[in-house]
Each structure stands twice: as structure tokens, then as C-alpha cells.
Amino acid sequence: MKKLVLAALLLAGSYVTPAEAQKQAQKEKQAQVMLLGTFHFSHRNLDVIKTEKEDQMDVMTPESQQDIQKITGKLAKFKPTKIAIETFPEEQAKVDSLYQAYLEGRYELKADEIDQLAFRLAKQLGHKRVYCINAWGDLDTFVKPGAKNFDVRDDKKERLEKFWTYMQAKTKERGKIDDAIYNQKGTLYEVLLKYNNPENIRRKHENYFRDAFQYEEQPYDYTGVDWYNASWFSRNLRIFRNIQRITESPDDRILVIYGAGHLATIQQAVESSPTHRLVSAHKLLK
């Protein structure tokens, strides 16, 4: 295979070194992953930074619906073999049932990025299902053994309450500074283009290393670091592990539709993987 790639490039009139030919051959063996960052169309407002009612975009207006057709049309050019969504694998059967009902005309799409983007595009491409890949981080350090909800261990409560108060205040403060990145001003197409801009992804990721990350209850402890490692970084690595799990072939082209805040960490995992290759959603949308 390596010899064939090298020969083809030589015939094209451009010489490459054996190392470059090997790199090209390796690329051909990697499954491709495209990450599309979104806001939550249903405005669940479960994160620290909330979107006020007057600032919430209605994705069901005729203008937004036209944009959704435009966006899915562009994403179709990637020719994804699988579409992955921000839903837990435990809910796969429920999602399968909803998607099948949609295919049969028994389910009307709601104001949700899974419905409006994933279901629409999957149907357009003839996919049998969309794939649930969400995960929580490794929170065992902070929660009581066997707890179903986030029931904090007694020896961690006071420490975490102080940290959360500080973290939430700093997150809201930073959200005001970064409003140009987070807001939903403009058309839906313009907003998603902004969310997937590489510079905005980088700037969004910076915030996970600012004040709260550096928080220390006592000098040289790792309160902030330990929280973000457990709740955020391990979460995104587990999400990437689920991307690996649904990858069945180097020929797979996986479109991942996810909250934009997750992009940077998952992107780094994809780029570091020997079995996967990142494809830019921003370039495709432009």
C-alpha cells in the first residue's frame, strides 16, 4: 500500500519522501471524525452560564428552519457513516424508538439539536440510527459510594461548597467578558459558524484553566484541579472512548453533534489518536 501511494505521487509529478508517503498511507487508514459544536436548542439552561429568555434563539422560526436545511446540506457533504449525539448510551433504546417513529411519520421534531440536526441528517442519509455517546466524568472521589444522584460525601461537602461558590462567580464573570463567543445573536447559521471557529474554540477552552482551576483551599493543594479533572476532563475523554467504541472501520466517517464547550478536549483526543483523524466542521460550513 505504501509503495502504491508513493508511486501515485511520483506519477503526479511531485516527489515526496518515504516518510511523507508513509504519513499519507496512515491517514488513509484512519476513521474520520467531524465535531460540530452547538448550543442546546431547547435552552435547558443547566450550565452555570444561563441564556436569558429574551436572548434565546427560536430554532423553529421559518428563518432558522431554512438555516437548518442549509447546515444539514453542508454536513451531508462530509458523507458521515455515523452520527453521534450528546445522550447517554443507556438511553439508546429510547432514541432508537423516537428516530424510528420519526422515519415512519409518527414523531414531530422538537426544538432540540438532536431532532433538528441529527435526526434530519440521519434520515436524509438513510441511517438506521444515531449513536448515543455521552458520559459523566469520574466523580467517585466526590460522591458517596453507590449514589444515584450527585450526593456529595460528608467529608467533601464543606470544601466543595466553598469552591462551587467561587467557581460559579468566576464563571459568570468570565461569561460576561466572553459574551461575543457565547451569545446567540445573528442567524442560526451565523451562530454555529461562530461556535465552530477554531479561535473561539481555543478561547472557550482557556477558561477551564483560569481562576477556578487554580483554586486552592490551602497552599499547594489541588482543589480546583481535582474537580475539573473529575468532572470535565475525564468526562470528555470518556466521550471520546465512546467514539472509539462506535468506530467499526477505518472507513467510518463519524459526525459528532455536541455542546460547543466540549469541542477542544475531544478535538485533542481525536488529533492524538492513531486510529482517528479530525475533519474541520468550520471549513465545511463556510
Of 95, 75, 76, the residue nearest 85 (C-alpha): 95
Strand ranges for the chain from DSSP E: 31-38, 82-85, 131-132, 253-259, 276-279
pTM score, whole prediction: 0.87
Residue 15 has pLDDT above 90, yes or no: no
pLDDT digits (tens, 9 = 90+) for 97-120: 999 999 999 999 999 999 999 999
Query: How many Cβ atoms sit within 10 Å of the Cβ of residue 108?
Result: 8
Q: Taking residues 12-16, what's their average pLDDT?
A: 55
pLDDT digits (tens, 9 = 90+) for 193-229: 999 999 999 999 998 999 999 999 899 999 999 999 9
Cα distances (angstroms) measured from residue 52 to each of 43, 55, 56: 9, 5, 6
Average the pLDDT over each of 42-46, 126-130, 275-279 and give the range with the smallest value.
42-46
